[in-house]
């Protein structure tokens, strides 16, 4: 439900089921009974019954996930900057859409705006993952692992090493080093690609400002819509790639 407004979350199957559920009906009855007992009369019973029903429906509204609450100040740089920049582009985009002429043009711009909102959510999620990966990297010392590998290799030809745990130790160390190097590559890739995608988001916002004034037909927005869709698709792909890599970032000690 990331990116869904309160209105969008209201018109969902859970809420629809709640409006006619037994619990909602019981809530109406309980509210009405309370009104009668309190001496509020028929009108008061009806009002309290409606309040009980509404309370049951409100409880059924899906909550926005934690991911949806964007707070760039929980992140270190450069990830904070990426999120802040994306939010600023989102504001410009929204202002341009609402400033467009009413009708099919604005309707289409609002559809594109929804994709931009999804893209900003993706920037937030990618930035959080990048922040976490940097934190994970700080707990790994590739140079220390390399020194330990060299020391282990120096003992590989010793007579006492035959049949010992030396081989398993070497395998563990190499796995740790591979993980550390993979984290480094993912961080660098996420940084570079997020910079590019943010620049494209800024460009889309600027084009939207121009098109909201100059475009005369929905067809004029075709290029903008396609570019935004491609940009958001790339953001989603980047986020998924980081998730796949981030799932194996734990580095174990040598055995």
Measuring CA to CA, which residue among 85, 86, 84, 111 is closest to residue 97? Answer: 111
SS (H, E, C) the chain: CCCCCHHHHHCCHHHHHHHCCHHHHHHHHHHHHHHHHCCCHHHHHHHHHHHHHHHHHHHHCCCCCHHHCCCHHHCCCCHHHHHHHHHHHHHHHHHHHHHCCCCHHHHHHHHHHHHHHHHHHHHHHHHHHHHHHHHHHHCCCHHHHHHHHHHHHHCCCCHHHCCCCHHHHHHHHHHHHHHHHHHHHHHHHHHHHHHHHHHHHHHHHHHHHHHHHHCCCHHHHHHHHHHHHHHHHHHHHHHHHHHHHHCCCCCCCCC
Q: pLDDT tens digits, residue range 54-86?
A: 565 455 555 555 555 899 999 999 999 999 999
Q: pLDDT tens digits, residue range 99-138?
A: 888 888 889 999 999 999 999 999 999 999 999 999 888 8
Mean per-residue pLDDT, 39-67: 53
Q: pLDDT tens digits, residue range 165-180?
A: 777 888 888 888 888 8
pTM of this prediction exceeds 0.85: no
Name the burial class of residue 102, with classes exposed (0-12), middle (13-18) and buried (19+) by CB atoms within 10 angstroms of its CB: exposed
| Mean per-residue pLDDT of the chain | 77
| Res. 250 pLDDT band, cuts 50 70 90 | very low
Of 192 and 139, the one with more pLDDT: 192
Is-contact 28 53, C-beta < 8 A? yes
């Amino acid at each position: 439900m990331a990116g869904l407004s309160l209105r969008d979350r209201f018109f969902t199957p859970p809420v629809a089921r709640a409006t006619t559920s037994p619990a909602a009906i019981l809530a109406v009855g309980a509210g009405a009974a309370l009104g009668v007992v309190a001496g509020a009369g028929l009108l008061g019973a009806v009002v309290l019954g409606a309040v009980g029903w509404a309370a049951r429906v409100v409880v059924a509204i899906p909550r926005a996930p934690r991911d949806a609450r964007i707070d760039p100040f929980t992140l270190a740089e450069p990830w904070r900057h990426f999120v802040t920049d994306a939010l600023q582009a989102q504001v410009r985009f929204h202002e341009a859409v609402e400033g467009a002429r009413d009708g099919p043009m604005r309707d289409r711009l609002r559809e594109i705006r929804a994709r931009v909102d999804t893209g900003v959510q993706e920037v937030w999620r990618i930035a959080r993952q990048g922040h976490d990966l940097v934190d994970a990297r700080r707990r790994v010392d590739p140079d220390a692992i390399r020194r330990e590998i060299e020391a282990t290799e120096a003992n590989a030809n010793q007579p006492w090493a035959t049949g010992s745990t030396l081989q398993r130790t070497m395998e563990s160390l190499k796995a740790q080093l591979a993980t550390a190097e993979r984290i480094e590559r993912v961080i660098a890739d996420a940084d570079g690609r997020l910079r590019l995608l943010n620049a494209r988001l800024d460009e889309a916002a600027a084009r939207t400002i121009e098109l909201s004034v100059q475009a005369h037909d929905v067809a004029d927005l075709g290029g903008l819509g396609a570019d935004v869709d491609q940009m958001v698709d790339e953001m989603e792909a980047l986020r998924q790639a980081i998730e796949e890599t981030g799932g194996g970032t734990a580095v174990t000690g040598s055995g």
